[in-house]
Structure 1
Amino acid sequence: KYFLQLEFGEEVWLRILEKADCKHIVFNTRQIYPDVLMTNLAMALAEYTGDSMDNIMQFFGKCFVRFFSNLGYDCTIKATGRYFCDFLQSVDNIHMQMRFTYPKMKSPSMYTTHVDPQGVVLVYRSTRQGFTHYLMGQLFQIAEDLYNTELDIKVLESSNSIPGSRSVMIKFRINFDNQQYIAKNNRMNTPLGRELPPISCTFFLRLFPFGVIMNKVMRILGVGDKLLQAWGGTTSILNMHVSEIFKLRRPKGVPFTWGNIMYLHSVIFELELIRANNYFMINSDNVPSTSSALDRRGSQGSRSILLKGQMRYIEDIKAIIFLCSPLINSLDELLNMGLYLNDLNPHGMSKELVLAGWQHCGRLEMMFERAEQRSTELENSYVLLDQWKNKSDELLYSMIPQTVADRLRAGASSLSTCESFESITVLFCELCDFDYSTIEGAMDIVLSMNAVFSCFDTLMDQFNVYKVETVGSVYMAASGAPDRPGKVHISSSTKALLPKGRYRTESRGVVKIKGKGNMETYWLESTANNEMKEKTSNDEDVKIKGLLVTSI
């Protein structure tokens, strides 16, 4: 919204909102909106400007990059690597981390299938259709702002129906200067000294007790002992297909195949372990399992174990090893999974993170209680503030006219609130011939005056007459001041929509409007008001040049 207003102006923004039948005027960061909203806005803007829909969607993509850069997320992109190709290979990892901040975000999947000195081939998968050029706009802006790189993007292949996967698949060829990235990889592949002797896979799996080794046909060649214990099967897990033991959770929408794993070598994977009892219930006519893992389950049963790590290809054995650790958030979750601290990797920070999370949990609870207490105190303070503000308003408005008081509150000088009026009506009304001789008579007088003056107050509000004061039995009121009759009160946004040359307006300055706060407002008058004689009546409305004015 902000960048569109900056580029085309407020008037264009209001028009495309109306044309796109958009009911949202203010957009919140964490609120979910339908996907068609952006395409409808782009279509409305394309019709208004005469530009193509593809160019408008690219413009929207560039605006989104500028938007999240203002929020500081450009630092996350810069931290992925020195080169633009590093960012392209880390997009899925960024989306995976963003799910903690935006849990309802439906992120796409992107990975590179070919890298050369002249660019890359990027595959984009998503459940959202019509966002191809929106993504291209994002890539253009990120490359220009963060990597000082110029791109040339071409669509090589497009498919909107992929069986068993996401509904959209786009293959891009992105041309840019990628020579420095290739040179960096070549330097990394050069041995720094004498090569060390190889180690056995058995020893390697001891270091990663939840690791998995799989061959090209996705058959399991070896697993860590802790993973085998957590699986709980009585039969051999070797040579079983990976899909029988694991379910791919992330990256989403990507088939769990050898080719995709090789393409996504830099992406963090999440696999869900299928427990042996679930496997046998599906494949063995519901025969219950007698595995030792059942002994470690609580009364609620074991939770699913999520394994998070990276897939690495080992050339010596022509296989892929999944270097992973269980994804655990707390001690309670650890026990519900049927695991213990000594089951976790002996290296790394897995144990320390679980214990640190447990220690910080108590602190967070105390902080949350304090925050709740302060929030309650703040709410009570706001209630008291509103009550005292209403009392002060009533007292102030009883002393001076409300319009004058609002202008003084807005910072206007006392002299600027003084006005002269050519014609006003002043009323003095006195209640006469009262008998003050007895107490009963005095009380009757007070009751009578209260009834009459209350009726007067109602009439004053009804006909916009200002009550000046009451002194004893005298009631004083003024009509035609301080609010001038025959005018319409409008806001600055309404003033901007009026036809030029047809009306003239008079500024009222900054006025406090109920439900809106301080706003600059105007009196609206027809240009013919000074030339036409105003017709008045007690109960009729007068129409002057299309302007409806209520007479008093």
Structure 2
Amino acid sequence: MYGLVIEGVRFMIQENWGPQVLLQVQKLTTLSEKSVSTHDQYSEHVVPQMFKAIHEITGTPYEQIGVLAGRFFVQFLIRNGYGDLMNVMGRRFSDFIKGLDNIHEYFRFSYPKLRAPSFYCKSESEDGLILHYRSRRTGYLSYVIGQLVELARIFYQLDIGIQVLKKKEKGRFTFVVLKISFDNVGLGHDLKLKERVKNLNEYLPVDTKSFLQMFPFHIAFNKKLEILMAGQGLLNLMPNIQGLLMTDVFDLQRPCIKFTAEGIMVHQNCVFQIESLHPVVKQTEENITVQINDVVEDKVSLEKKTIMDNEYESLPYVTLRGPIIVLKASDTFLLLATCVVDTLDTMFKMGMYLNDFGESDCNREIIMATIQKSDTLKSMLENEKRRSEILTEMTKEISEAKKTARGLLTQMMPYEVAQTMMRSGTVEHSEAFDCVSIGFIRVCDFAKISLFIEAFEVVNLLNTIYSHLDAIVDTHGVYKVETIGESYMISAGCPYRDEYDAEMVADCCLEMVSHIKSFEYQSHDAVKKVLIKCGIFTGPVVGGVVGVRTPRYCLFGDTVNTASRMESSNQTAMTIQVGQRTKDRVDKQASGAFRIKPKGNIYVKGKGDMRVYELEKKKGRARYKKNEPLRKKMVAEKKEAEEMLDDDNEGHRSSALSRMSLGSVSKLLFLGLFDL
């Protein structure tokens, strides 16, 4: 069953009971929350399940639900563009019913696996007709009745009555006889037309030659279904069928009846479609050129052979479609058929040619038009393929750009903050932290260094130093806040709270001082060591994202200013100066593992005299390793962000130039490091 039918039922539920009931119905069926596509196939049990669910939820009788669904399905088809087709299917309602099978054939172009029911009329009178309904499904009778009632009301302004005369269900098949009562006023005109045709027969005889030219695929057979005669076009494809039974050669595909003389008699208003039971392939003799041992011989005669499809291709079958009329004078049936082919390749495989069709057969024009359309479609397909490749490449580039942007954003600010920004698209984020340890690291005498080496060497030196410091920061799980020129800022306890914040920053600074001893630079007269100094302070801060054009994660508060003063007031290179709060917190967290020397008091603007200490070294292992999951989490997050970047950037931070603020660049320009 196609999703078109299910969508019609959903439309009925939506219009009658609203979206809430529709959600309840979907939960009670195998459909659940799935979206339905009109051209996809679904289980045959979905619609009966939906009817049952509606009955349980609303209390509406089951049969009434079926009728209602049928009526709304007609409205659903009209809304989806099929109203124009149904509007011209018949001048009268009886004509429309007789053409129901043709409508289903039309739908088969869009829904090739459609298992349509079959309808045929009998005993038509001025008061109505008898309709025989046959289907490969059970449980859809009320649904069909609803469709008939709505079709008559909308297109013919008729209020019809329907009575079930006979109903039989056998396995998965349904056989029903319906009496449809309506004012069939046009029937009298048909009787007059038959009388006119009877009179014209005397003046419009058709000779045999003209008939054979018009219907080269006709078949004449008797009531025993013995083939008496066939058209030349059909004999070219199936030369030995005369004298055989129709049922031994063909399978009746439409209408859905037994292939018997009695069945044909009551279905004369239907279009019949039959298909050969066996594939039909042409037999031909061909001359080809072969090459054996580098000797070329032409015109090698091949034995008569059958061109068969390989196991991966479908074999062609002869499909005939047309009405069957009864020749009462000879007590025979005549199928006025045309051969249905889908492609030129099929024609070639069967050995069929355009001149095999009758002169008045529109299939000639259809096939020729199909060739032209096929070329156009192939060209369009190639263009679409190229566009698709371009679109795929652009999509890939956009994906890579997004990936890089995410990685850069994650490097610029904490992982969780970056994720929030990417999800929400906003930069509004701030949070207060009660206890954070801030560390400032500065390259000593940076201005003097810049005077003796070239500008690009300054950048390379800073980039090398900061890359090594980044690795140390990652090892200790400390967060790198920012770099401003020759100054490097770190924090612990923010943006991730940690009970060992002071010990983490202290350990990190000690390793930085130890590691930097191996760095040198070439001065004008000698090779000199790179020196750094550090300052640490602990206290409350506020962290948040500032800026819109170039957003940054920054820390604010008196603690940040004081930590900066700890570094700037430190007059001794390769040492770490800490405040009283940091000293107390380090002693508590590390249980006296650090050796800390008092340095006296310093004056801090806005705060007065403050006692400071020098952090010399540490004995024993770090306590905060007990909190290793957080370290692993932070390192993993940074690794994930770095993997998003190009391979050239893996394991390294952005260059020092990209990290330097506008003020730092201005300072370098002022020092004359760039020749502008």
Q: Structures share a fold, TM > 0.5?
A: yes
Give the counterpart of 2:250 among 246, 249, 255. Answer: 246
Code of the residue aligned with 1:175 in structure 2: it is S
Code of the residue aligned with 2:555 in structure 1: it is Y
Alignment CA distance shift 1:10-1:344 (3 Å): closer
Partner of 2:273: 270
Separation in structure 2 between the aligned mates of residue 372 and residue 458 of structure 1, nearest angstrom: 55
Residue deviations 1:474-507 (CA, integer Å, cap 9, x gap): 7249xxxxxxxxxxxxxxxxxxxxxxxxxxxxxx
Give the counterpart of 2:170 among 156, 161, 170. Answer: 161
> Alpha-carbon deviation of 1:428?
8.9
| Structure 1 segment 136-175 matched on structure 2, within 5 A | 136-161=145-170, 167-175=173-181
Separation in structure 2 between the aligned mates of residue 46 and residue 148 of structure 1, nearest angstrom: 30
**Contact 1:128 1:168 (8 Å CA) reproduced:** yes
**Contact 2:428 2:545 (8 Å CA) reproduced:** no
Alignment CA distance shift 1:468-1:113 (3 Å): same
> Alpha-carbon deviation of 1:200?
5.0
Code of the residue aligned with 1:55 in structure 2: it is Q
**Contact 1:153 1:173 (8 Å CA) reproduced:** yes
Is there any run of 5+ residues in structure 1 with no aligned partner, and where?
279-293, 410-416, 478-552
Separation in structure 2 between the aligned mates of residue 276 and residue 270 of structure 1, nearest angstrom: 16
Alignment CA distance shift 1:429-1:151 (3 Å): same
Give the counterpart of 1:255 among 240, 258, 268. Answer: 258
Partner of 1:214: 221
Separation in structure 2 between the aligned mates of residue 431 and residue 359 of structure 1, nearest angstrom: 77
> Alpha-carbon deviation of 1:315?
4.1
Partner of 1:237: 242
**Contact 2:51 2:65 (8 Å CA) reproduced:** yes
Matched, 1:347 2:360: yes
Separation in structure 2 between the aligned mates of residue 97 and residue 428 of structure 1, nearest angstrom: 76
The structure with higher relative contact order (CA 8 Å, sep 6+) is: 2
Separation in structure 1 between the aligned mates of residue 79 and residue 98 of structure 2, nearest angstrom: 24
**Contact 1:211 1:223 (8 Å CA) reproduced:** yes
Give the counterpart of 2:231 among 217, 224, 236. Answer: 224
3-state DSSP class of the match of 2:203? coil
Separation in structure 2 between the aligned mates of residue 74 and residue 331 of structure 1, nearest angstrom: 33
**Contact 2:30 2:46 (8 Å CA) reproduced:** no
> Alpha-carbon deviation of 1:102?
0.8
**Contact 1:307 1:327 (8 Å CA) reproduced:** yes
Code of the residue aligned with 1:174 in structure 2: it is I
CA RMSD of aligned residues (A): 4.1
**Contact 2:544 2:554 (8 Å CA) reproduced:** no
Alignment CA distance shift 1:154-1:449 (3 Å): same
Separation in structure 2 between the aligned mates of residue 67 and residue 312 of structure 1, nearest angstrom: 36
Alignment CA distance shift 1:320-1:460 (3 Å): farther
Give the counterpart of 2:325 among 304, 312, 318. Answer: 312
Give the counterpart of 2:63 among 48, 54, 58. Answer: 54
Residue deviations 1:152-198 (CA, integer Å, cap 9, x gap): 11211111117xxx721111111122112x13312422317754153
Separation in structure 2 between the aligned mates of residue 433 and residue 273 of structure 1, nearest angstrom: 89
> Alpha-carbon deviation of 1:303?
3.5
Moved more, 96-105 or 196-205: 196-205
Alignment CA distance shift 1:65-1:379 (3 Å): farther
Separation in structure 1 between the aligned mates of residue 154 and residue 492 of structure 2, nearest angstrom: 65
3-state DSSP class of the match of 2:120? strand
Separation in structure 2 between the aligned mates of residue 427 and residue 461 of structure 1, nearest angstrom: 12
Code of the residue aligned with 2:263 in structure 1: it is N
Alignment CA distance shift 1:456-1:46 (3 Å): farther
Separation in structure 1 between the aligned mates of residue 437 and residue 174 of structure 2, nearest angstrom: 83
3-state DSSP class of the match of 1:107? coil
Is there any run of 5+ residues in structure 2 with no aligned partner, and where?
1-9, 282-302, 447-460, 481-489, 499-541, 558-676
Code of the residue aligned with 2:227 in structure 1: it is I
**Contact 1:329 1:357 (8 Å CA) reproduced:** no
Partner of 2:205: 198
> Alpha-carbon deviation of 1:43?
0.9
3-state DSSP class of the match of 1:73? helix
Give the counterpart of 1:475 among 555, 559, 567. Answer: 555
| Structure 1 segment 51-130 matched on structure 2, within 5 A | 51-130=60-139
TM-score by length of 2: 0.57
Separation in structure 1 between the aligned mates of residue 121 and residue 402 of structure 2, nearest angstrom: 62
Separation in structure 2 between the aligned mates of residue 418 and residue 297 of structure 1, nearest angstrom: 77
> Alpha-carbon deviation of 1:405?
9.5
Code of the residue aligned with 1:355 in structure 2: it is M
Separation in structure 2 between the aligned mates of residue 108 and residue 140 of structure 1, nearest angstrom: 17
TM-score by length of 1: 0.69
Code of the residue aligned with 2:48 in structure 1: it is T
Alignment CA distance shift 1:403-1:335 (3 Å): closer
Separation in structure 1 between the aligned mates of residue 131 and residue 492 of structure 2, nearest angstrom: 75
3-state DSSP class of the match of 1:54? helix
Separation in structure 2 between the aligned mates of residue 466 and residue 187 of structure 1, nearest angstrom: 95
**Contact 1:125 1:168 (8 Å CA) reproduced:** yes
**Contact 1:232 1:275 (8 Å CA) reproduced:** no
Partner of 1:360: 373
> Alpha-carbon deviation of 1:215?
3.0
Separation in structure 1 between the aligned mates of residue 331 and residue 148 of structure 2, nearest angstrom: 35
Separation in structure 1 between the aligned mates of residue 496 and residue 161 of structure 2, nearest angstrom: 69
> Alpha-carbon deviation of 1:24?
3.9
Q: Percent identity?
A: 24
Separation in structure 1 between the aligned mates of residue 53 and residue 343 of structure 2, nearest angstrom: 49
**Contact 1:212 1:223 (8 Å CA) reproduced:** yes
Separation in structure 1 between the aligned mates of residue 83 and residue 440 of structure 2, nearest angstrom: 83
Structure ID, larger Rg: 2
Residue deviations 1:330-384 (CA, integer Å, cap 9, x gap): 3321121132333222332233333333343333222111111112222333344
Alignment CA distance shift 1:332-1:472 (3 Å): closer
| Structure 1 segment 532-551 matched on structure 2, within 5 A | none
**Contact 1:65 1:141 (8 Å CA) reproduced:** yes
